[in-house]
Amino acid sequence: MIALLRGRVLAIDDDGIVLETQSGVGYQVFCHLRTLTTLRDARDDVVLHVHTSVADDAIRLFGFATPEELRLFRLLLTVERIGPKAALGILGRAELPTLVRAIRSGDAGLVGTVPGIGPKTAQRVILELRGRLDGLVVPGDSPLPVPETHEVVATAVEGLRGLGFRESEAKAAVAAVSPSLSEGASVSEVVAAALRHLDKVLAS
């Protein structure tokens, strides 16, 4: 698996670049808009932190300027209905500190402005990731307080309602998954488990 590439930008387009390494090999690397804007002016060798995606039809590389951006990209991929293209769109929408603050504060508006991502998917991103960004805390921010169990349940139910589920469905889903979750589970963990349960129920 390729984790990092260093080389010069040989070509650039709207989706990514061709990065030529010192060995003379050119790699096609997909990047978000802000990274591409920076690379257009690069005169020296650049370093990209890489996510390698292996599919049946191709191996694709996604490059990021920092390991923190790479980590958020991988977290976004864990959210249902968020693929690499959508994740790149989210990361390209704003600087990393702005994105982290928006997700941690529960502000789905910024994510919802990305083309192809509707309000429900944006809300799902917030609910599933807001409690998983400890390693991406922005300097000056204070850690989120750990809520009581009843607050977690109530917030999870409200979040599911925001995604379009009826209150009865939301409460039933949270109740169904609660026994399988560890003590002190976050809202995002409860919501993610409840969504998986609801997807199974709706598919059956």
Neighbours of 36 (CB within 10 A): 19
142 torsion bin: left (phi>0), alpha (psi -120 to 50), beta (else): beta
Q: For the chain, list residues with pLDDT below 50.
A: 142-144, 146
For residue 144, what pLDDT is reported? 47
All structural domains of the chain with their residue ranges? 4-64, 67-136, 149-203
Quick one: which of 50, 13, 39, 34 has its CA closest to 89? 34
CATH of 67-136, picked from 1.10.150.20, 3.30.1330.60, 1.10.10.60, 3.40.50.300, is 1.10.150.20
- Residue 108 backbone dihedrals phi, psi, to 5 degrees: -85, -5
For residue 18, what pLDDT is reported? 96
For residue 138, what pLDDT is reported? 56
What is this structure's pTM?
Answer: 0.70
pLDDT digit string, tens, across residues 36-69: 998 988 878 999 999 999 888 889 999 999 999 9
For residue 137, what pLDDT is reported? 52
**SS in 3 state form for the chain?**
CCCEEEEEEEEECCCEEEEEECCCCEEEEECCHHHHHHHCCCCCCEEEEEEEEECCCCEEEEEECCHHHHHHHHHHHCCCCCCHHHHHHHHCCCCHHHHHHHHHHCCCHHHHCCCCCCHHHHHHHHHHHCCCCHHHCCCCCCCCCCCCHHHHHHHHHHHHHHCCCCHHHHHHHHHHHHHHCCCCCCHHHHHHHHHHHHHHHHHC
Taking the CA of residue 76 as centre, how many other CA atoms within 13 Å lie in the half-sphere pointing to its CB?
Answer: 25
C-alpha 9/C-alpha 21 separation (Å) is 9
The topology under which CATH files domain 149-203 is Helicase, Ruva Protein; domain 3 (1.10.8)
Pairing of β 59-64 and β 26-30: parallel
For residue 149, what pLDDT is reported? 66
Domain 4-64 is found in CATH 2.40.50.140:
yes
